[in-house]
Amino acid sequence: MTDNAFAPPVRMWSSALLEKGWCVIPELVAPATIAALDRDLEQDFAETPFCSGGFYGARTKRFGRLLTRSPLSQRLVAHPLVLGIAQTVLSPWCDCIQLNLTQALALHPGAPPQLPHRDQDMWRGAVGETEYLVNVMWPFTRYTKDNGATLVWPESHGHRALAAEPPNGAFPVEMEPGSALLFLGSTLHGAGGNRSSEVRRGAIVSYCLGWLKPYENQWLAYPPQIARTFPPELAALAGYRQHRPNLGNYEGQCPSVLLQDEVPDRLPATDALRPDQAELVAQFVAGQDWRP
């Protein structure tokens, strides 16, 4: 849950995000922290092969599982203000949110602009009435118009995602390390083209409704032996929590049971219901007059 100190900014930024479809929050993290994270990932950036395919981009490198690669990535993933905003924006449609992906990306000189897209289109749900995702772009280098800063189409979100005609007026979101661009799953966007001689590096961290299949398979990215090193809230975000009722269980238990030292071979399947469902079940069971 959101820390009280963060409650007013969470409300303010959540309204801005829902209204505009995107926002830039300045100076969220110390630039030195971002620089240290960038250094931790130096070898990954150097040795990861370029992507394959027109969407990922042949002049772009990407890699996931950031929580296994640098402990500093926790500062981004579990940033209290960002988490509070993601929870506030997505809570009308889910019981709890989950981590959808962490992905570092390096846009090399000569990378052409990416296909404009809405990240929510990875799921085949209703368009225009539900928000599925909150995306956060964390720059590691400065993002400029020249080096391929993310292009955002303002006023392209929500029900506007149903419009047949693409909206006009994309603009590059220029920003410095330490700041972050937040946008909705329904907001049209894409990487810009890199006409500069510098590599544009950064990371995307996104959060989605807790009942969706996440883009990055969280349980494979963070198997129990890794997730048990996380603070419990982070493990929960990475899938070690049930989405009530009972979704994502292990042997009928919260999958966080796998993070304990000893896991019994046999476990009692145990209801994990929302309060309204627990009440319904309790009334049904109490009113039952049945003998075998």
Stated length of the chain: 292
Q: How far apart are the first and last CA of the chain?
A: 45
The verdict on 107 binding Fe ion (CB under 5 A) reads: no
Which of 157, 244 has the CB closer to ligand AKG? 157
Candidate segments 152-160, 183-191, 249-257, 280-288, binder of ligand AKG by CB under 6 A:
183-191
For ligand AKG, the binding residues in 112-151 under the rule CB under 6 A are 114, 119, 150
The verdict on 73 binding ligand AKG (CB under 6 A) reads: no
Q: How far is CA 257 from CA 220, 223, 224, 278, in A?
A: 17, 13, 9, 22
Min dist. Cβ of residue 191 to Fe ion (A):
8
For ligand AKG, the binding residues in 191-220 under the rule CB under 6 A are 191
Min dist. Cβ of residue 285 to ligand AKG (A):
47
Q: Classify each residue of 215-246 as buried b or exposed e, where b means 16 or more C-beta atoms within 10 Å of its C-beta.
A: bbebbebbebeebbebeeebbbbbbbbbbbeb
Min dist. Cβ of residue 120 to ligand AKG (A):
11
Coarse DSSP helix, strand, coil percentages of the chain, rounded to the nearest 5 percent? 35, 20, 50
Beta-bridged to residue 232, according to DSSP, are none
What is the CA angle 83-29-197, rounded to 5?
115
Q: Which residue is nearest to Fe ion (CB)?
A: 119
Dihedral pair phi/psi, residue 187, rounded to 5°:
-85, 130
Q: Determine the distance from the C-alpha atom of residue 130 to the mean position of all C-alpha atoms in its chain, rounded to a whole number.
A: 16
Q: Classify each residue of 122-160 as buried b or exposed e, where b means 16 or more C-beta atoms within 10 Å of its C-beta.
A: bbeeebeebbbbbbbbbbbbebbebbbbbbbbbebbbee
The verdict on 119 binding Fe ion (CB under 5 A) reads: yes
Which of 177, 190 has the CB closer to ligand AKG? 190
| Residue from 21, 64, 190, 255 binding ligand AKG (CB under 6 A) | 190
Pick what 105 binds: Fe ion, ligand AKG, none; C-beta below 5 to 8 Å, kind-dependent. Answer: ligand AKG
Candidate segments 91-99, 188-196, 223-231, 246-254, binder of ligand AKG by CB under 6 A:
188-196
Candidate segments 7-15, 185-193, 208-216, 259-267, binder of ligand AKG by CB under 6 A:
185-193
Q: How far apart are CA 178 and CA 173, in angstroms?
A: 14
Pick what 208 binds: Fe ion, ligand AKG, none; C-beta below 5 to 8 Å, kind-dependent. Answer: none
Candidate segments 11-19, 33-41, 116-124, 238-246, binder of Fe ion by CB under 5 A:
116-124
Which of 143, 240 has the CB closer to Fe ion? 143
Strands 180-184 and 60-63: unpaired
Under the rule (CB under 6 A), what is the footprint of ligand AKG? Answer: 105, 114, 119, 150, 189-191
